Amino acid sequence: MAASGAVEPGPPGAAVAPSPVPAPPSAPSHLFRPISAEDEEQQPTEIESLCMNCYRNVRRGHGAVGGRGMTRLLLTKIPFFREIIVSSFSCEHCGWNNTEIQSAGRIQDQGVRYTLTVRALEDMNREVVKTDSATTRIPELDFEIPAFSQKGALTTVEGLITRAISGLEQDQPARRANKDATAERIDEFIVKLKELKQVTSPFTLIIDDPSGNSFVENPHAPQKDDALVITHYNRTRQQEEMLGLQAEAPAEKPEEEDLRNEVLQFNTNCPECNAPAQTNMKLVKSGGAVEALGTRITLHITDPSDMTRDLLKSETCSVEIPELEFELGMAVLGGKFTTLEGLLKDIRELVTKNPFTLGDSSSPGQMEKLQEFSQKMDQIIEGNMKAHFIMDDPAGNSYLQNVYAPEDDPEMKVERYKRTFDQNEELGLNDMKTEGYEAGLAPQR
Same domain, 160 and 228: yes
Predicted confidence band at 1 (pLDDT cuts at 50, 70, 90)?
low
Q: SS3 for 182?
A: helix
- pLDDT over 70 (residue 36): no
Across 134-154, average pLDDT: 90
Last residue of a domain, one of 103, 130, 149: 103
Predicted confidence band at 441 (pLDDT cuts at 50, 70, 90)?
low
Predicted confidence band at 56 (pLDDT cuts at 50, 70, 90)?
very low
| Lowest-confidence pick of 27-31, 83-87, 89-93, 327-331 | 27-31
- pLDDT over 70 (residue 296): yes
Q: Which CATH number covers residue 237?
A: 2.60.120.1040
Most trustworthy range by pLDDT among 59-63, 103-107, 148-152, 340-344: 340-344
Paired with 314 in beta bridges are: none
- Residue 88 falls inside a structural domain: yes
- pLDDT over 60 (residue 251): no
Same domain, 400 and 422: yes
Across 151-178, average pLDDT: 89
User: Alpha helix (H) ranges present in 320-436?
Assistant: 340-352, 355-358, 366-382, 421-426
- Residue 375 falls inside a structural domain: yes
Cα separation values, 45 from 41, 93, 445, Å: 12, 21, 63
State how beta strands 153-156 and 127-130 pair. antiparallel
- pLDDT over 70 (residue 261): no
- Residue 230 falls inside a structural domain: yes
Q: SS3 for 101?
A: strand
Q: Which residues contact 308 (CB under 8 A, 6 or more apart)?
A: 339, 340, 341
- Residue 48 has what pLDDT? 83
- pLDDT over 90 (residue 285): no
DSSP per position, 104-135: -SPPPSSEEEEEEEE-SGGGGG-EEEE-TT-E
Predicted confidence band at 65 (pLDDT cuts at 50, 70, 90)?
very low
Looking at the 3D structure of the chain, how many domains does it have? Answer: 3
- Residue 146 has what pLDDT? 92
Please report, rounded to a whole number, the percentage of residues in the chain having pLDDT higher than 70: 73
What are the tens digits of pLDDT across the range 383-421? 899 999 999 999 998 999 999 988 999 999 999 999 988
Same domain, 311 and 390: yes
How far is 210 from 24, CA to CA, in rounded Å?
A: 21
Same domain, 326 and 302: yes
- Residue 278 falls inside a structural domain: no
Hey, what amino acid is at 18? P
What are the tens digits of pLDDT across the range 183-224? 889 999 999 999 999 999 999 999 999 998 898 988 887 778
Top-confidence residue, 85 or 176:
176
Euclidean distance between the first and the last CA atom of the chain, given in angstroms as a whole number: 45
Write down the mean pLDDT value for the chain: 78
- Residue 379 has what pLDDT? 92
- The number of beta carbons lying within 10 Å of the beta carbon of residue 60 is 9
- Residue 408 falls inside a structural domain: yes
- Residue 445 falls inside a structural domain: no
- Residue 332 falls inside a structural domain: yes
Top-confidence residue, 445 or 15:
445
Same domain, 126 and 72: no
User: Alpha helix (H) ranges present in 227-364?
Assistant: 237-242, 340-352, 355-358
Q: Which residues contact 15 (CB under 8 A, 6 or more apart)?
A: 5, 6, 7, 8, 98
Same domain, 80 and 116: no
Across 132-155, average pLDDT: 90
Same domain, 321 and 409: yes
Predicted confidence band at 6 (pLDDT cuts at 50, 70, 90)?
very low
Same domain, 129 and 213: yes
Predicted confidence band at 334 (pLDDT cuts at 50, 70, 90)?
confident
HSE-up (13 A, CA, CB side) for residue 219:
18
User: Alpha helix (H) ranges present in 244-353?
Assistant: 340-352
- Residue 280 falls inside a structural domain: no
Same domain, 323 and 421: yes
Last residue of a domain, one of 243, 278, 304: 243
Q: What range does the domain containing 213 cover? A: 111-243
Last residue of a domain, one of 51, 73, 103: 103
- The number of beta carbons lying within 10 Å of the beta carbon of residue 350 is 16
- Residue 413 has what pLDDT? 94
- Residue 434 has what pLDDT? 63
HSE-up (13 A, CA, CB side) for residue 56:
3
Same domain, 74 and 164: no
Same domain, 69 and 115: no
Same domain, 348 and 309: yes
Write the DSSP symbol of residue 85. Answer: E
